[in-house]
Structure 1
């Protein structure tokens, strides 16, 4: 009897290890920060953190303090030699409310700071706890999201931050907006701005340990963002996000230069089969009408699982060695596919939703979105199984 599961995501440990080693080989002595926000881009941080730790990843980036606390808890429970010998840096990349500073400090989680007021509040809380708080100065170099503007006032504010009690400026960072394009002129502009302002910080007497602006695209194609000489005691770090999971930042990247392996695949089963005549409307609104006698299979996945509804009547799956088109609208919990031209499809046949025969890039294109969005929107009712 076939093993049944409604939907499952298989997380390949071998692929994850392959990607980490590929990235670390590219970076050489540069420290690697694994970006594990949004539950490790939908892959489940409980699967990803132990593997990263075993492979000697130096630091972790998250989007929220809650994620950071979970990462710290996972790291503290790991038996690996690396975890015992290294107090891994964890950085919250975005905004953290002052009401959460106590928790951040107690869990030794660094925070992104982009105003003097934030730093003053963090310092006050650290003094109250009689502990040191770690922070990274965020610079606005061309993303227009968050960060200190690169002007004289910001220079004065950051210098003031460096004198506040119980604070450690552990890093200065920014983020490339267009490093995943063939035309690197905007990346050049951001890089020049970053260098010029950090030079001003150095001349003003601000000493910062870690410098990081390189994201996945820059790791692949913009090595100057992590290889320039730094003052003694300072070091480069690079943030590996989407490439950690075997996916490319955009279709403009040179994939041959870095042969990544996708870490996630997604599967479901056929749970119903029926033959219908030509002219039969399928699903909500009769969005698809059969043009010939057709064999329709129902599979147990839908937008309630995060499977894109935009794949309605456009997407495909893979069953019995062939592609099967989606017919009608993707429902909340089920989807119908056309298996008329596929021999011997049976109940409980396994169906590949994402994998070697159904590339995530294809689904993203068909859905009118990006692969980041699809994997991050897969819901918690899908188990992630590390193999």
Structure 2
């Protein structure tokens, strides 16, 4: 028999979360499926999200997979093309590319084809990651619009604090001042802006994390937003032992029992994608009952407190995150984000759909 750890992907939940995104906007929905569909499987996630108006990802090879699987919607390369050699592929497979720097403009200028490319031109409105500065953006836009190879242009930016109290207004105002007068399609809203700032929706919204059942907000639960968990990572108890007061658990002896305790060992560790830095107290479900992680996470195992879970036995089901145990709560306890947990799921963990 194989190790008991596996991740179940609820494709119906993906479809539901896409529906929730659609309910929140009248804009077209560009479903973000980068990072192997946030760890959920690119082709499986895209198939569940087939009703989306388009898909966004990073790698041209992933885009070709979608095309070859029969997806005909617009496919957006969020970081654009990485060399001039990719431009013919973009034209052949009708892929849409973000343009965000001068090198891409230079490569585009050397491309001889006419009227073959759809591009999204990115404005750096304050995140200072990708995009053209406000001062240069108008001239770049005119150059791109006039280019012989460009068929159509969409304007875009990305918000740095849509999920925080600071909100989007400073960046939104930059976008309005620099690009607002243009009669061109635009795209600004990620999951957080889609849910909280309707004025930013424009023509295309780009939901990502909300599609996978996680809240983009630290202070609002996914369930409150009507979202359903898509990935449930589960395993089983493979060992049980009794501790006496003073006994240590795991590498570094970072946890010591302060009383007699019953603990279990779970077949899951950081090589499976569970965060090594998750501290004692991180919530876990055993036999459907909340309990806690104990000590340091190992490569292949972790320890769990069974003192108040009398039904637990060898083989008992353990939910690390997902149904009944929100990935956001686990991530918060571990000092990270649900994005990291979902995307870090290791290839050795079997997926079931």
Q: Which residue of 1 aligns with 2:21?
A: 23
| Structure 1 residue 198: Cα displacement | 2.0
Q: Which residue of 1 is the match for residue 49 of structure 2? A: 52
Q: 1:381 to 1:224 in 2, by over 3 A?
A: same
DSSP 3-state at the match of 1:71:
helix
Aligned positions of 1:195-234 closer than 5 A: 195-202=176-183, 208=184, 210-226=185-201
Judged with a 3 Å threshold, the aligned counterparts in structure 2 of structure 1 residues 255 and 310 are, in CA distance, closer, same or farther, namely closer
Provide the residue aligned with 1:11 in structure 2.
Answer: 9
* 8 Å CA contact 1:159, 1:201 repeated in 2: no
Q: Deviations over 1:74-128 (max 9, x none)?
A: 3x2xxxxxx5xxx31111112531143343333322211123541341353452x
Q: State how 1:375-386 maps to structure 2 within 5 Å.
A: 375-386=342-353
**Are positions 1:174 and 2:169 aligned together?**
no
1:372 is matched with which residue?
339
- Counterpart of 1:326 in 2: which secondary structure? strand
Structure whose residues are more often helix by fraction: 1
Partner of 2:95: 109
Q: 2:35 maps to which residue?
A: 38
Q: 1:232 aligns to what?
A: none
Q: Match of 1:363, SS? A: helix
Q: Distance in 2 between matches of 1:322 and 1:255?
A: 20
Deviation at 1:357, TM superposition (A): 3.3
TM-score, normalised to structure 2, is 0.91
| Alpha-carbon distance, 1:268 to partner | 0.3
**Superposition map of 1:41-80 within 5 A:** 41-53=38-50, 56-74=51-69, 76=70
SS at match of 1:318: strand
User: For 1:268, what is the secondary structure of its paired residue?
Assistant: strand
Greater mean deviation of Cα atoms: 190-199 or 324-333: 190-199
Q: In structure 2, what is the equivalent of residue 205 of structure 1? A: none
For 2:5 and 2:222, the matched residues in 1 are separated by 30
- Give the corresponding residue for 2:138: 155
Alpha-carbon distance change, 329 to 257 in structure 1, aligned in 2, over 3 angstroms: closer
Structure 2 gap ranges (5+):
none
Greater Cα shift, 250-259 or 376-385: 250-259
| Secondary structure at the counterpart of residue 233 of structure 2 | strand
Preserved CA contact (<8 Å) 1:139 1:194: yes
Gap regions ≥5 residues in structure 1: 77-82, 203-207, 228-235
- Residue 46 of structure 1, CA deviation: 2.2
Q: Distance in 1 between matches of 2:22 and 2:165?
A: 23
Shift of 1:59: 0.7
Alignment of 1:194 with 2:189, yes or no, is no
Task: Establish whether residue 97 from structure 1 lines up as the match of residue 64 from structure 2.
Answer: no
Counterpart CA distance in 1 for 2:272 and 2:31 is: 26
